[in-house]
Structures are given as structure tokens and as C-alpha cells.
Amino acid sequence: MRYTSFTSYDFILLAQGLGVSLALFLATTLIGLFVGTMWAIIRFYRVPVLTQFITFFAELLKNSPVLVQLFLVFFGLPALAKINITPVEAAVITLSGNTAAFIYVIAVSAIESIGRDQIESARVFGLSRWQVLRHVIAPQAVAFAIGPLTGLLVNQLQVTSLISVIGVVDLTKIGNILNLRTLKPFIVWTVVGGLYYVTAKLIAYGGARLEQRLRAHTAWKGL
């Protein structure tokens, strides 16, 4: 017997699916932010060989489909390395790497946006390269990067919907389950799309507020 009507438990399922999507989004964002920033710092220090490898790897990740990367990690890596990977682990590895690649590009652009005259002036006053990076470049680069980073995070939230194809029970997977059970795709996918939309708007709003505050602190206020 097929139950085509919605039940109150469906709201719990949707909330659980949204929770899984948000948890993976937050985890992969934090990992990607750390890895991508480290890659940008390595490029700033111009580490031989490693800089070229990171640049090539980041280009490879950001210019290939995320779904293909997901399949390579989930199906290809176990066959190649003879290891077992769960769907959640595959999702974390793939989305973290993809996010890191784009954050690397944003971070490099933010660092290079700082005028060379500021860096040279700081070096004249005796600051080490690390002190220049920390006290001169980082505060301005963060303010510059918030806008592009917010746009990236909104996009990466949408990308999390792809992980349902390997069996992760996220919001999209729950939507597919409810669609098959109720046979009411318009209602189901409208609700699922609405949840993604609201979440994305909250991310965009938070990013805009943070950018506004950071730019207020770095704005020229005169002598």
C-alpha cells in the first residue's frame, strides 16, 4: 500500500536531512578554508616545487565537475588504494578539496590586491615576512575576500546536493524519498528548494554584514 499523503513525521525527516547537509557544509567549509589558506601562504612564501604542484592541483579541482570528483573518490579511490570509504567520508574529502581549491584562488587574489608599497614599507621598518603577512596583508586581504568567499559558500551549499547520488541521506535524498512515496514532486521539491534558498540567504546576509564591519574597520578615517 502506498501512502501518498504527507505526515507530521515528514517535517522531522526534512529537518534531519537539512541538518546533515548543513553539518557537511560547515565541516567541509572549515577544512577547505584551512587547506586553501595554507596553500595561499605557501605560494606567498614561494616554496619551490610545492607551489607549482599546489597551483596545478587547485586548477585541476576547480576546473573539473564536482560529481566526477565525487565518483573518483567514492568508487575510484577504494579500487586504487584498496581502502574502504563511506559515503560521508567521500563527501567530506571531495567537497573539502573542491572548496579549498576555490578558497586558494580567492586568498591569492586577496593577497595580491595589497599594494607592494605597503609591503616594502613594512619591510623597511624591520618587520619579518611573517609579521608583514599577519599585520599588514591579512587584515586587508580578509576584508577583500569576504565578498567572493560569501558567493563561493552559497554555491558550495548548492553543491552539497550532489552527495545524495552516493547514498548520503541529506536534504536532497530526503526529498527524493518523499517524492517517491507521495508522488507529489511539485510540493516536495518546492519545499526542498525553499529550504536551500532560505539557508543560502542567511549565509549571504551573514557574509554581507561581516564584510560591512570589516571594511568599516579598514576604511581610511584620516589623520
Q: What is the pTM of this model?
A: 0.86
Residue 106: band (very low, low, confident or very high) from pLDDT cuts 50, 70, 90: very high
The domain defined by 22-168 folds into: MetI-like fold (1.10.3720)
Position 105 pLDDT exceeds 80: yes
Position 222 pLDDT exceeds 50: no
* pLDDT, average across residues 207-222: 70
Residue 170, pLDDT score? 94
The rounded mean pLDDT for the chain is 87
Position 1 pLDDT exceeds 50: no
The 10s digit of each residue's pLDDT in 195-204 is 999 999 999 9
* pLDDT, average across residues 105-129: 77
| Range in 11-20, 160-169, 214-223 with the lowest mean pLDDT | 214-223
- The DSSP code sequence of the chain is ----S--THHHHHHHHHHHHHHHHHHHHHHHHHHHHHHHHHHHHTT-TTHHHHHHHHHHHHHTS-HHHHHHIIIIIHHHHH-----HHHHHHHHHHHHHHHHHHHHHHHHHHTS-HHHHHHHHHTT--HHHIIIIIIHHHHHHHHHHHHHHHHHHHHHHGGGGGGGT---HHHHHHHHHHHH--HHHHHHHHHHHHHHHHHHHHHHHHHHHHHHHHHHS----
The 10s digit of each residue's pLDDT in 142-174 is 878 888 999 999 999 999 999 999 999 999 999
